[in-house]
Amino acid sequence: MTRLFNDPAAFADEALEGFTAAHRRWVRPVTGGVVRATATPAGQVAVVIGGGSGHYPAFSGLVGRGLAHGAAVGNVFASPSARQIHSVATAAHAGGGVLLMYGNYAGDVLHFGQAAERLAADGVETRTFAVADDISSAGPEESAKRRGIAGDLPVFKAAAAAAEQGLPLEEVLRVAERAGARTRSFGIAFSGCTLPGADHPLFTVPEARMAVGLGIHGEPGIGEEALPTADEAARLLVETLLKELPEDVADPAGERAAVILNGLGSVKYEELFVVYRRVAALLGDAGVEIVDPEVGELVTSFDMAGISLTLTWLDDRLEELWRAPADTPAYRKGALDAAEPDLARASVTAAAQDTAVPAAPVVPAASDASRGAAETVLAALDAVARVVGAHADELGRIDAVAGDGDHGIGMRRGSTAAHRAAADAHGLGAGAGTVLTRAADAWADKAGGTSGALWGTILRSLGTALGDRDAPDAARVAEGVTDASAAVRRLGGAEVGDKTMVDALVPFADALAAATAEGLSLADAWDRAATTATAAAAGTADLLPRRGRARPHAEKSLGTPDAGAHSLALITRAVHGALLDHH
């Protein structure tokens, strides 16, 4: 378990602060993460990676020459927000465009995609690439749905080495695609991980058993088997990966592969070496030539007791990039000439950050009626933060049945930040629309992850509909909720029946629109819609997930409602109470 922490909510920020203090030769801090401390040649493509905390040395430990130019760092097991990614990418950009790289998880896809849109709006040519190497999370016919685990490293490194050679953005992206298509990973675990402040692991494995096919966010495995010996574990890993070769590899004999035996947090290096001796022998028996193997902790999951094996099948070009030198805090290969610190860019970045937030924040002008409505909005957001806080542990338990168990933590961070931002805006005389949009940005920024992106979208849609000029009536609120429902489906790609938040949001929005059309007051219409949402959320217990981290563990989630749908139902009921109090 994680024993050394202060406030669990501050763990990720404090860890990043300590990391940068310890590694100033390689990295410097920027808002949202870190970038190289050394100068990047003008015109070079910037490879910016990122993901949640809890995976060190991924992602911040892989920033340095020969590897990433920057890393956006989210909260524990939660993707960084679009604003964080945009900030890091802006600081890392050297004029050659930006390639954003991350593991294939819904929250990362959403936030990195939004950041790419913002960078493009700034005039920065940007591409994205999601690593999807975990063969246990989807079959070959659905490889695009696979999770990104320890295969992150060879794919990141291939793209970064290509960027170091001065290749243009499109060619760097093609290298990433080639490396991703030829990378496969598979893992096993003997116990789950425990998040800072938690008193139990996200999942447990019965005595003398192991979980097979696991993720790196505390997700349980897709199955269980008897606890193996080291040689038996090696055989399982190797044989599983050799069953699925890249399309252009007919036989492993005579092929070259970069090999990574990765420790997930608490398996000792000596144990890894015992396993690797057999991995190397089995690959040799299959005729595979191993190129520059890595044995150690490369992509972890806090204190999870587990290991994974990654094979990247090399051609001449990929071997050149895999062997290329790199110098980062946690990963070094070959030798590089000494580099000068990037003092000029560091001073520019520092100056920009010093002026990024005005000393006296201003808000758009608002009517008295809208400022009055903002008081109700603030009360509603207070109710949201309170109900989420009261149910955070329950939401985490629900999420951990087939997911990573962090839904309650993320929702608490997001709702608390949203209420705080709303209170600040209200104190400055903001109208209802501005109060909601400020809350939206804070929720997305502090929560990260899928829920952060989606709840930021919900609040922003409501804020846009309400505006700052008039007192919003029931019809306008219903219109904003309908817009939010459409925006969430568009952004996340989920529909009713996928076992997501959408299964409660769409019925809620439809019921609210129908009730207001009948002429009901906002409080009465909201009451009816909240009842509909509660029933719909409960009904998700009978569904199999078709999206998100729970999808690989679909059967395990039967009988348990979706955490996102359940939290939305709780929130709609809490908001109804605030509407009654401010009727």
Check pLDDT > 70 for residue 515: yes
Alpha carbons 483 and 465: distance in angstroms, whole number: 8
> For tokens 């966010």, what's the residue?
217
Strands 209-212 and 223-226 come out as antiparallel
Choose the weakest-confidence range: 110-124, 185-199, 458-472, 524-538: 185-199
What pLDDT band is residue 551 in, cutting at 50, 70 and 90? low
Alpha carbons 403 and 80: distance in angstroms, whole number: 18
Give bridge partners of residue 257 from the DSSP assignment: 290, 313
Q: Average pLDDT for residues 388-405, to the nearest whole number? A: 86
- 421 neighbors 413 (Cβ within 8 angstroms): no
568 alpha-carbon distance from chain centroid: 20
Q: Average pLDDT for residues 177-188, to the nearest whole number? A: 97
Task: Report the pLDDT value the prediction gives residue 9, as an integer from 0 to 100.
Answer: 77
Q: Average pLDDT for residues 417-426, to the nearest whole number? A: 97
Check pLDDT > 80 for residue 350: no
Check pLDDT > 80 for residue 46: yes
Strands (E), 116-217: 126-131, 183-191, 209-212
For 299, the token pair is: 């992509």
Strands (E), 106-220: 126-131, 183-191, 209-212
Check pLDDT > 90 for residue 512: yes
Q: Compute φ and ψ for 401, nearest 5 degrees.
A: -60, -45
Task: Report the pLDDT value the prediction gives residue 346, as an integer from 0 to 100.
Answer: 62
Check pLDDT > 60 for residue 281: yes
Choose the weakest-confidence range: 23-37, 195-209, 460-474, 483-497: 195-209
DSSP state of 222: S
Percentage of the chain with pLDDT > 90?
Answer: 76
What pLDDT band is residue 354 in, cutting at 50, 70 and 90? very low
What pLDDT band is residue 547 in, cutting at 50, 70 and 90? low
Closest CA to 426 of 373, 352, 351, 504: 373
Amino acid at 420: R
Task: Report the pLDDT value the prediction gives residue 581, as an integer from 0 to 100.
Answer: 87
- 429 neighbors 371 (Cβ within 8 angstroms): yes
Closest CA to 343 of 566, 38, 560: 38
Q: Is the peptide bond before 57 cis (omega within 30 degrees of 0)?
A: yes
Check pLDDT > 80 for residue 73: yes
Neighbours of 413 (CB within 10 A): 27
Task: Report the pLDDT value the prediction gives residue 464, as an integer from 0 to 100.
Answer: 96
Alpha carbons 357 and 361: distance in angstroms, whole number: 8
Alpha carbons 17 and 479: distance in angstroms, whole number: 43
Task: Report the pLDDT value the prediction gives residue 200, as an integer from 0 to 100.
Answer: 79
- 440 neighbors 456 (Cβ within 8 angstroms): yes
Across all residues in the chain, what is the average pLDDT?
92
Q: Compute φ and ψ for 70, nearest 5 degrees.
A: -165, 160
Cβ-based burial of 264 (10 A; exposed 0-12, middle 13-18, buried ≥19): buried
Cβ-based burial of 254 (10 A; exposed 0-12, middle 13-18, buried ≥19): exposed
Q: Is the peptide bond before 59 cis (omega within 30 degrees of 0)?
A: yes
Task: Report the pLDDT value the prediction gives residue 41, as an integer from 0 to 100.
Answer: 96
Active site residue 217: yes
What pLDDT band is residue 218 in, cutting at 50, 70 and 90? low
Active-site annotation holder among 55, 69, 111, 217: 217
Check pLDDT > 80 for residue 408: yes
DSSP state of 522: H
- pLDDT tens digits for range 101-143: 999 998 899 999 999 999 999 999 999 999 999 999 999 999 9
Q: What is the largest CA-CA distance in the chain?
A: 78
Task: Report the pLDDT value the prediction gives residue 344, as an integer from 0 to 100.
Answer: 63
Check pLDDT > 60 for residue 79: yes
Amino acid at 345: R
Check pLDDT > 80 for residue 450: yes
Check pLDDT > 90 for residue 195: no
Kind plus residue range of the DSSP H or E element containing 439: helix 432-447
- pLDDT tens digits for range 153-165: 999 999 999 999 9
Q: Average pLDDT for residues 391-402, to the nearest whole number? A: 87
What pLDDT band is residue 203 in, cutting at 50, 70 and 90? confident
Check pLDDT > 90 for residue 214: no
